[in-house]
Protein backbone atom coordinates (compact mmCIF):
# COMPACT_ATOMS: atom_id res chain seq x y z
CA UNK A 1 0.00 0.00 0.00
CA UNK A 2 2.78 2.47 0.87
CA UNK A 3 4.55 1.81 -2.43
CA UNK A 4 1.36 2.90 -4.19
CA UNK A 5 0.82 5.87 -1.85
CA UNK A 6 4.32 7.16 -2.58
CA UNK A 7 3.24 7.83 -6.20
CA UNK A 8 6.62 6.78 -7.61
CA UNK A 9 6.64 7.89 -11.26
CA UNK A 10 8.37 4.67 -12.39
CA UNK A 11 6.10 2.26 -10.46
CA UNK A 12 3.75 0.50 -12.88
CA UNK A 13 2.55 -2.22 -10.49
CA UNK A 14 3.43 -4.45 -7.55
CA UNK A 15 3.49 -8.27 -7.55
CA UNK A 16 3.61 -9.65 -4.00
CA UNK A 17 4.46 -13.34 -4.12
CA UNK A 18 6.23 -16.11 -2.24
CA UNK A 19 6.73 -18.03 -5.50
CA UNK A 20 10.38 -17.57 -6.42
CA UNK A 21 9.73 -18.35 -10.11
CA UNK A 22 7.02 -15.68 -10.32
CA UNK A 23 9.24 -13.21 -8.44
CA UNK A 24 12.11 -13.70 -10.89
CA UNK A 25 10.08 -13.80 -14.12
CA UNK A 26 11.61 -11.48 -16.76
CA UNK A 27 13.24 -9.21 -14.15
CA UNK A 28 15.76 -6.70 -15.49
CA UNK A 29 17.02 -5.57 -12.08
CA UNK A 30 17.04 -7.89 -9.06
CA UNK A 31 17.74 -6.47 -5.59
CA UNK A 32 18.35 -9.48 -3.35
CA UNK A 33 17.47 -8.60 0.25
CA UNK A 34 16.11 -11.94 1.46
CA UNK A 35 18.13 -13.42 4.27
CA UNK A 36 18.85 -13.59 7.93
CA UNK A 37 20.05 -10.23 9.36
CA UNK A 38 22.99 -9.80 11.78
CA UNK A 39 22.14 -9.33 15.44
CA UNK A 40 24.12 -7.34 17.98
CA UNK A 41 27.66 -8.69 18.41
CA UNK A 42 27.54 -10.74 15.18
CA UNK A 43 29.96 -10.30 12.28
CA UNK A 44 28.44 -10.47 8.80
CA UNK A 45 30.22 -13.77 8.20
CA UNK A 46 28.25 -15.27 11.13
CA UNK A 47 25.05 -15.36 9.04
CA UNK A 48 26.83 -17.26 6.26
CA UNK A 49 25.50 -20.75 7.09
CA UNK A 50 21.88 -19.55 6.87
CA UNK A 51 22.16 -17.18 3.91
CA UNK A 52 24.39 -19.16 1.57
CA UNK A 53 21.67 -21.79 1.00
CA UNK A 54 19.14 -19.07 0.19
CA UNK A 55 21.44 -17.68 -2.51
CA UNK A 56 21.92 -20.99 -4.22
CA UNK A 57 18.12 -21.42 -4.52
CA UNK A 58 17.46 -17.84 -5.61
CA UNK A 59 20.25 -17.97 -8.19
CA UNK A 60 18.70 -21.04 -9.80
CA UNK A 61 15.39 -19.17 -10.12
CA UNK A 62 17.08 -16.11 -11.64
CA UNK A 63 18.98 -18.35 -14.06
CA UNK A 64 15.73 -19.91 -15.25
CA UNK A 65 13.33 -16.96 -15.22
CA UNK A 66 15.13 -13.57 -15.26
CA UNK A 67 15.88 -11.50 -18.36
CA UNK A 68 19.24 -12.63 -19.84
CA UNK A 69 20.85 -9.23 -19.19
CA UNK A 70 19.44 -8.96 -15.64
CA UNK A 71 21.44 -6.67 -13.33
CA UNK A 72 21.71 -8.17 -9.83
CA UNK A 73 22.46 -6.34 -6.57
CA UNK A 74 22.99 -8.62 -3.57
CA UNK A 75 22.28 -6.80 -0.28
CA UNK A 76 21.93 -9.67 2.21
CA UNK A 77 25.04 -10.57 4.19
CA UNK A 78 27.64 -11.80 3.80
CA UNK A 79 26.99 -9.76 0.66
CA UNK A 80 30.19 -10.57 -1.28
CA UNK A 81 29.97 -14.29 -0.56
CA UNK A 82 26.28 -14.41 -1.44
CA UNK A 83 27.05 -12.60 -4.71
CA UNK A 84 29.82 -15.11 -5.48
CA UNK A 85 27.46 -18.03 -4.86
CA UNK A 86 24.77 -16.40 -6.95
CA UNK A 87 27.30 -15.92 -9.77
CA UNK A 88 28.24 -19.61 -9.67
CA UNK A 89 24.62 -20.66 -10.16
CA UNK A 90 23.65 -18.09 -12.83
CA UNK A 91 26.00 -18.95 -15.72
CA UNK A 92 23.67 -17.28 -18.28
CA UNK A 93 23.76 -13.87 -16.62
CA UNK A 94 26.84 -11.77 -17.58
CA UNK A 95 29.46 -11.91 -14.79
CA UNK A 96 29.74 -8.13 -14.68
CA UNK A 97 26.02 -7.96 -13.87
CA UNK A 98 26.39 -9.62 -10.44
CA UNK A 99 27.24 -7.02 -7.78
CA UNK A 100 26.84 -6.55 -4.05
CA UNK A 101 26.11 -3.52 -1.90
CA UNK A 102 29.16 -1.59 -0.66
CA UNK A 103 27.67 1.77 -1.67
CA UNK A 104 26.48 2.10 1.92
CA UNK A 105 30.12 1.98 3.08
CA UNK A 106 30.99 4.58 0.44
CA UNK A 107 28.19 6.87 1.66
CA UNK A 108 29.24 6.35 5.27
CA UNK A 109 32.81 7.34 4.40
CA UNK A 110 31.62 10.50 2.61
CA UNK A 111 29.61 11.44 5.68
CA UNK A 112 32.50 10.87 8.12
CA UNK A 113 34.61 13.27 6.05
CA UNK A 114 31.80 15.83 5.71
CA UNK A 115 31.20 15.83 9.49
CA UNK A 116 34.90 16.15 10.21
CA UNK A 117 35.25 19.14 7.87
CA UNK A 118 31.82 20.60 8.62
CA UNK A 119 30.95 20.71 4.91
CA UNK A 120 27.92 19.36 3.08
CA UNK A 121 28.26 15.73 2.05
CA UNK A 122 27.63 16.63 -1.60
CA UNK A 123 30.92 18.58 -1.55
CA UNK A 124 32.91 15.40 -0.76
CA UNK A 125 33.65 13.07 -3.67
CA UNK A 126 35.62 10.08 -4.85
CA UNK A 127 36.16 7.99 -1.73
CA UNK A 128 36.78 4.39 -2.79
CA UNK A 129 35.91 1.27 -0.78
CA UNK A 130 38.30 -1.61 -1.43
CA UNK A 131 37.58 -5.15 -0.29
CA UNK A 132 34.48 -6.76 1.11
CA UNK A 133 31.41 -5.30 2.83
CA UNK A 134 32.95 -6.46 6.11
CA UNK A 135 35.15 -5.26 8.96
CA UNK A 136 38.25 -5.79 6.76
CA UNK A 137 37.20 -3.30 4.07
CA UNK A 138 39.55 -0.38 3.30
CA UNK A 139 37.92 3.04 2.85
CA UNK A 140 40.45 4.92 0.68
CA UNK A 141 40.53 8.74 0.65
CA UNK A 142 43.69 9.08 -1.41
CA UNK A 143 41.79 10.35 -4.49
CA UNK A 144 38.97 11.97 -2.50
CA UNK A 145 38.29 15.66 -2.95
CA UNK A 146 36.29 18.34 -1.21
CA UNK A 147 34.89 21.48 -2.85
CA UNK A 148 35.78 24.55 -0.78
CA UNK A 149 35.27 28.29 -1.30
CA UNK A 150 38.79 28.38 -2.78
CA UNK A 151 38.19 25.48 -5.18
CA UNK A 152 38.57 21.71 -5.15
CA UNK A 153 41.14 20.28 -2.69
CA UNK A 154 42.29 16.79 -1.77
CA UNK A 155 40.69 15.47 1.41
CA UNK A 156 44.09 14.48 2.84
CA UNK A 157 45.33 18.03 2.41
CA UNK A 158 42.26 19.68 3.97
CA UNK A 159 41.80 17.22 6.83
CA UNK A 160 45.54 17.54 7.54
CA UNK A 161 45.43 14.70 10.06
CA UNK A 162 46.82 11.48 8.59
CA UNK A 163 46.64 9.82 11.99
CA UNK A 164 42.84 10.23 12.05
CA UNK A 165 42.45 9.30 8.36
CA UNK A 166 44.61 6.18 8.75
CA UNK A 167 43.00 4.91 11.96
CA UNK A 168 39.75 6.22 13.50
CA UNK A 169 38.17 7.19 10.17
CA UNK A 170 38.80 3.69 8.77
CA UNK A 171 37.57 1.79 11.82
CA UNK A 172 34.46 3.99 12.13
CA UNK A 173 33.45 3.16 8.54
CA UNK A 174 34.38 -0.51 8.96
CA UNK A 175 32.27 -0.80 12.12
CA UNK A 176 29.40 1.52 11.30
CA UNK A 177 27.01 -1.34 10.54
CA UNK A 178 27.68 -2.73 13.99
CA UNK A 179 27.17 0.72 15.58
CA UNK A 180 23.77 1.00 13.86
CA UNK A 181 22.76 -2.45 15.11
CA UNK A 182 23.78 -1.45 18.66
CA UNK A 183 21.69 1.73 18.40
CA UNK A 184 18.61 0.24 16.68
CA UNK A 185 18.84 -3.39 17.75
CA UNK A 186 18.28 -3.99 14.03
CA UNK A 187 20.36 -3.69 10.87
CA UNK A 188 20.51 -0.39 9.01
CA UNK A 189 17.32 0.06 6.98
CA UNK A 190 16.76 3.51 5.48
CA UNK A 191 20.45 4.17 4.73
CA UNK A 192 20.83 0.67 3.24
CA UNK A 193 17.74 1.11 1.03
CA UNK A 194 18.85 4.56 -0.06
CA UNK A 195 22.35 3.26 -0.90
CA UNK A 196 20.82 0.42 -2.94
CA UNK A 197 18.90 3.09 -4.92
CA UNK A 198 22.17 5.05 -5.41
CA UNK A 199 23.90 1.87 -6.63
CA UNK A 200 21.21 0.99 -9.17
CA UNK A 201 20.68 4.59 -10.35
CA UNK A 202 24.39 5.11 -11.06
CA UNK A 203 24.72 1.68 -12.65
CA UNK A 204 21.83 2.32 -15.05
CA UNK A 205 22.37 6.04 -15.72
CA UNK A 206 26.13 6.36 -15.07
CA UNK A 207 27.86 8.42 -12.38
CA UNK A 208 27.84 12.21 -12.70
CA UNK A 209 30.93 13.78 -14.33
CA UNK A 210 34.05 13.68 -12.07
CA UNK A 211 32.30 11.40 -9.56
CA UNK A 212 33.76 7.97 -8.73
CA UNK A 213 32.18 5.30 -6.55
N1 LIG B 1 25.09 -4.84 2.23
C2 LIG B 1 24.61 -3.94 3.08
O3 LIG B 1 25.07 -2.78 3.08
C4 LIG B 1 23.53 -4.30 4.05
C5 LIG B 1 23.11 -5.58 4.18
N6 LIG B 1 22.10 -5.90 5.03
C7 LIG B 1 21.69 -7.30 5.05
O8 LIG B 1 20.45 -7.41 4.34
C9 LIG B 1 19.74 -8.56 4.81
C10 LIG B 1 18.31 -8.19 5.14
O11 LIG B 1 18.30 -7.34 6.28
P12 LIG B 1 16.93 -6.82 6.88
O13 LIG B 1 16.08 -6.31 5.77
O14 LIG B 1 17.27 -5.93 8.02
O15 LIG B 1 16.35 -8.17 7.43
P16 LIG B 1 14.80 -8.57 7.64
O17 LIG B 1 14.83 -9.73 8.56
O18 LIG B 1 13.98 -7.36 7.98
O19 LIG B 1 14.36 -9.00 6.18
C20 LIG B 1 14.85 -10.18 5.60
C21 LIG B 1 13.76 -10.79 4.77
O22 LIG B 1 14.28 -11.99 4.20
C23 LIG B 1 13.24 -12.92 4.17
N24 LIG B 1 13.77 -14.29 4.08
C25 LIG B 1 14.24 -15.07 5.08
N26 LIG B 1 14.58 -16.29 4.60
C27 LIG B 1 14.33 -16.26 3.26
C28 LIG B 1 14.45 -17.22 2.23
N29 LIG B 1 14.88 -18.47 2.49
N30 LIG B 1 14.11 -16.85 0.99
C31 LIG B 1 13.67 -15.60 0.73
N32 LIG B 1 13.51 -14.66 1.68
C33 LIG B 1 13.83 -14.99 2.93
C34 LIG B 1 12.48 -12.69 5.47
O35 LIG B 1 11.17 -13.18 5.37
C36 LIG B 1 12.52 -11.16 5.58
O37 LIG B 1 11.40 -10.57 4.97
C38 LIG B 1 20.52 -9.10 6.01
O39 LIG B 1 21.34 -10.17 5.59
C40 LIG B 1 21.38 -7.88 6.42
O41 LIG B 1 22.52 -8.30 7.13
C42 LIG B 1 21.42 -4.96 5.74
C43 LIG B 1 21.82 -3.65 5.66
C44 LIG B 1 22.93 -3.22 4.84
O1 LIG C 1 25.38 -6.20 9.37
C2 LIG C 1 24.22 -5.92 8.96
O3 LIG C 1 23.23 -6.66 9.04
C4 LIG C 1 23.98 -4.57 8.34
C5 LIG C 1 25.07 -4.13 7.48
O6 LIG C 1 25.69 -4.87 6.74
C7 LIG C 1 25.43 -2.71 7.52
O8 LIG C 1 24.68 -1.89 8.08
O9 LIG C 1 26.50 -2.39 6.99
Pairing between β-strand 151-154 and β-strand 145-148 as defined by DSSP bridges: antiparallel
* Among the bound ligands, the one closest to the CA of 51: 1
> Could you tell me the residue ranges of all domains in the chain?
2-100, 103-205
Which atom belonging to ligand 1 lies closest to the Cα atom of 54? 29
Q: What are phi and psi of 176, to 5 degrees?
A: -65, -35
Per-residue model confidence (pLDDT) at position 64: 97
> Which residues of the chain, if any, have pLDDT below 50?
none
Per-residue model confidence (pLDDT) at position 54: 85
Closest-CA residue to 46 (of 57, 55, 60, 35) = 35
Reported ipTM? 0.95
Q: Are the folds of 2-100 and 103-205 the same?
A: no
Q: Quick check: is 120 catalytic?
A: no
- CA 102 vs CA 105, 140, 147, 150, 188: distances in Å: 5, 13, 24, 32, 13
Architecture in CATH of 103-205:
Alpha-Beta Complex (3.90)
Q: What are phi and psi of 138, to 5 degrees?
A: -120, 105
State the distance from the centre of ligand 2 to the C-alpha of 196, rounded, in angstroms: 13
What topology does CATH give the domain 2-100? Rossmann fold (3.40.50)
Per-residue model confidence (pLDDT) at position 45: 79
Per-residue model confidence (pLDDT) at position 43: 79
Which atom belonging to ligand 2 lies closest to the Cα atom of 105? 9
d(CA 51, CA 68): 24
Tell me if the pTM is above 0.90.
yes
State the distance from the centre of ligand 1 to the C-alpha of 86, rounded, in angstroms: 15
Amino acid sequence: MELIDAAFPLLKGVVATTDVAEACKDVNIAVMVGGFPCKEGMERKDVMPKNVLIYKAQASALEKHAAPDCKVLVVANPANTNALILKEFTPSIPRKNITCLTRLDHNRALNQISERLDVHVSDVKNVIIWGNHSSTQYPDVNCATVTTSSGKKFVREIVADDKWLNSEFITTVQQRGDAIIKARKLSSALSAASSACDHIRDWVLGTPKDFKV
